[in-house]
Amino acid sequence: MASLRLFVALDLPPAMRDALMAAVRAVGSALPGVRWGRSETLHLTLKFLGDTPAERVPDVTEALRAVLGDIPAGRFAVAGFGTFPNPRRPSVVWAGIRSGTEWLTKVAGRVDAALTPLGFAPEQRAFQPHITLGRVRQGTRWPTEVVRVFEAERPFGEAAARSAILYASTLAREGAIHDPLAELPFRQS
C-alpha cells in the first residue's frame, strides 16, 4: 500500500515569493548553517498530515472541500523574519504574518476539525501562521549581531487566498518537491 506525505497549504503570489527570495539572498550569507528553501516551494502550511495511504486522498479531499467551501476567501500580509524556537537556538527561519492571522487561525482550526474524524491527530500546539524560509543545521548558534537581522520589519506583500491546496511532498536531495493533488476553493463573496 503506497503512502503519500501530505499537507494542506496556501500558495503565495509570485511577487511575494520574489520579495521573500530577494530578502533571503540579502541576509542569507549573514545566517550560517541554514538550508534555504526554493521559491517554488514557499507556502503557508495550514496542517501537516504526514504519511497517508494514497487511497485516503479522496476522503481527505472531500472533507476539506466541504469545510473550506463554507469559509469566505481571505487576505493576509507577510512581513519580518523570525525563528523557531528563538534566534539564539534556531531550527527554522520564517517570514511572519502581519495581518490576517485571525482568518488564518480560523481556517487552520476548521481544517484540523475536518480531518480529526478521519483519524488525523488534532494539533496540540496553538497555530502560528508563518512561511518557512529555511531549516537550520542542528547545534547552530548565531552571535548577537546576526540575531539583529530579525529585528527589521521587512514587508513582503499581501496575498488574496481564494483556495487552499492539498499537496504531496517528496523529499529529495535538492529539497522537497511539492505536487498539488487538489485545489480546495474558499467561498467567493
Q: Domain holding 30: CATH number?
A: 3.90.1140.10
Cα–Cα distance for residue pair 153/65, rounded to 1 Å = 35
> Is 142 within 8 Å of 90 (Cβ atoms)?
yes
All cell numbers assigned to 70 = 463554507
Task: Read off the C-alpha cell for 118.
Answer: 478521519
- Pairwise CA distance, residues 133 & 37, whole Å: 5
Distance of CA 43 to the CA centre of its chain: 5
pTM: 0.91
Q: Are strands 163-170 and 74-86 parallel, antiparallel or unpaired?
A: unpaired
Question: How many domains does one find in the chain?
Answer: 1
Position 85 scores a pLDDT of 87
pLDDT 10s per residue in the chain (189 long)?
699 999 999 999 999 999 999 988 888 777 888 899 999 999 999 999 999 999 999 999 999 999 999 999 999 999 988 888 887 788 999 999 999 999 999 999 999 999 999 999 999 999 999 999 999 988 888 777 777 777 677 899 999 999 999 999 988 877 788 999 999 999 987
Q: Supply the range of the domain harboring residue 149.
A: 3-185
Q: How many CA atoms lie within 13 A of 38 on its CB side?
A: 9
Q: Is 146 exposed, middle or buried (0-12, 13-18, 19+ CB in 10 A)?
A: middle
